[in-house]
Amino acid sequence: MMAQAIETKELTLSYGESIIIEEMDLRIPKGKITVFIGGNGCGKSTLLRSIARLLKPKTGSIYLEGTAIANMSTKDVAKQMAILPQSPVAPEGLTVLQLVKQGRYPYQTWLKQWTKEDEKIVNDALKATGIEELKDRAVDSLSGGQRQRAWIAMTLAQDTDIILLDEPTTYLDMAHQIEILDLLFELNEKENRTIVMVLHDLNLACRYAHNIVAIKNKEIFAQGKPEDVINSRLVEKVFEMECEITTDPLFGTPMCIPCGKGRCILKQRVSAHA
């Protein structure tokens, strides 16, 4: 059996009285890219947040490399797993270096704020994300793509095997979306880091994921390689939308083309008038 980075057992999540995820048993393989997909409000972000201990489970438990997170100290968790929440905001005037440096928080003490190791790992993170040149610039003065790179650099500086990202491409234009996903793919390839993220774009999810988890009705609808699980029936059930699935001409991964009405609306209107 393949090693699991994260495992949930009978995990139930709720906001107040309303149940979001019910008795979910989820396994996230080590060293792979796993992407959560699903319609709006299906609980994919909630699931990611609970794995990152930002939300307390109602019942059930979450295991990190075999150990229950509830039994670990929060700093020990932080040394194994980093989370980048959705659209984080940096305080005005904070420089890229000052931000990225804070990824070292779980390793620091008051007297040891900038060890040689801290310096090396922060520099590596800046290099990996290609923002070395920007390290003295204010985060709020950067473009959307650069800013997201700075935040990713911060999570890299945490030096963890597992990185969770909640919609890392939201609010970015298409070019920057690809840039960020390429960067994450490379991190996975080169450094073998386990990456778990929520993505909205199904086609990009198919391109970059080794493992897709489709969530519907508070539970896992399907999980596996994009080629194995993505088909028109799944999209119809999970997203409640008709579509055709073809093959991505560049990578051979599944590609979803929504049916919708599109320009037919025009024809319908004409026929209604006739």
Partner 1 sequence: MSKNKTVRFLNGKVSFLFDRRAIKVFSIAAITAAIIFIISTGIGDMKISPLSVINVLFGGGTQMEQLVVTSLRLPRIIVALMVGMSLAVAGAILQGMIRNPLASPDILGTTGGAAVAVVGFLAFFSDENNALTVSIKWMPLAAFIGAGVIAILVYILAWKNGVSPFRLVLIGIGVSALMQALTTLMMILGPIYRASQANIWITGTVNGTTWDNVKILVPISVILVMIALFMTRDMNIQELGDDIATGVGSHVQRQRIFFLVISAALIGVSVAFAGGIGFVGLMAPHMARRLVGSSFGALLPVSALIGGILVMLADLVGRTLFSPLEVPAGIFTSAIGAPYFIYLLFRTRNS
Q: Which of 7, 118, 159, 167 touches partner 1 by CB under 8 A?
A: 118
Contact 166, 49 (CB under 8 A): yes
In angstroms, the CA 83 to CA 71 distance is 19
Interaction residues for partner 1, span 219-258 (CB under 8 A): none
- Write the DSSP symbol of residue 16: T
Q: Which of 52, 150, 162, 213 touches partner 1 by CB under 8 A?
A: 52
Question: For the window 131-160, what string marks contact with partner 1 as x by the rule CB under 8 A?
Answer: -----x-x---------------xx--x--
Question: For the window 32-51, what string marks contact with partner 1 as x by the rule CB under 8 A?
Answer: -----------------x--
Nearer to partner 1, 97 or 255 (CB): 97
Q: Does 99 bind partner 1 (CB under 8 A)?
A: yes
Coil/strand/helix, residue 161:
coil
- Of the listed pieces 103-111, 175-183, 186-194, 231-239, which binds partner 1 according to CB under 8 A? 103-111
- Could you give the C-alpha distances from 229 to 128, 154, 177, 225, in angstroms and in order? 32, 33, 24, 6
Nearer to partner 1, 23 or 76 (CB): 76
The torsion angles phi and psi of 261, rounded to 5 degrees, stand at -105, -30
Q: Which of 27, 101, 176, 207 touches partner 1 by CB under 8 A?
A: 101
Interaction residues for partner 1, span 59-88 (CB under 8 A): 73-79, 82-85, 88
In angstroms, the CA 55 to CA 99 distance is 24
For residue 173, give the amino acid letter.
D
Nearest Cα to 197, choosing from 221, 226, 224, 168? 168
Q: Does 127 bind partner 1 (CB under 8 A)?
A: no
Q: Which of 59, 67, 71, 115 touches partner 1 by CB under 8 A?
A: 115
Q: Which residues contact 202 (CB under 8 A, 6 or more apart)?
A: 37, 230, 235, 239, 256
Q: Which residues contact 170 (CB under 8 A, 6 or more apart)?
A: 86, 87, 200
Q: Which of 71, 114, 127, 251 touches partner 1 by CB under 8 A?
A: 114
Question: For the window 185-224, what string marks contact with partner 1 as x by the rule CB under 8 A?
Answer: ----------------------------------------
In angstroms, the CA 27 to CA 252 distance is 26
Coil/strand/helix, residue 123:
helix
The string of DSSP codes covering 201-235 is: -HHHHHHH-SEEEEEETTEEEEEE-HHHH--HHHH
- Of the listed pieces 19-27, 114-122, 168-176, 197-205, which binds partner 1 according to CB under 8 A? 114-122
Q: Does 110 bind partner 1 (CB under 8 A)?
A: yes
**Binding positions for partner 1, rule: CB under 8 A:** 49, 52-54, 73-79, 82-85, 88-95, 97-99, 101-103, 105-106, 108, 110-116, 118-119, 136, 138, 154-155, 158
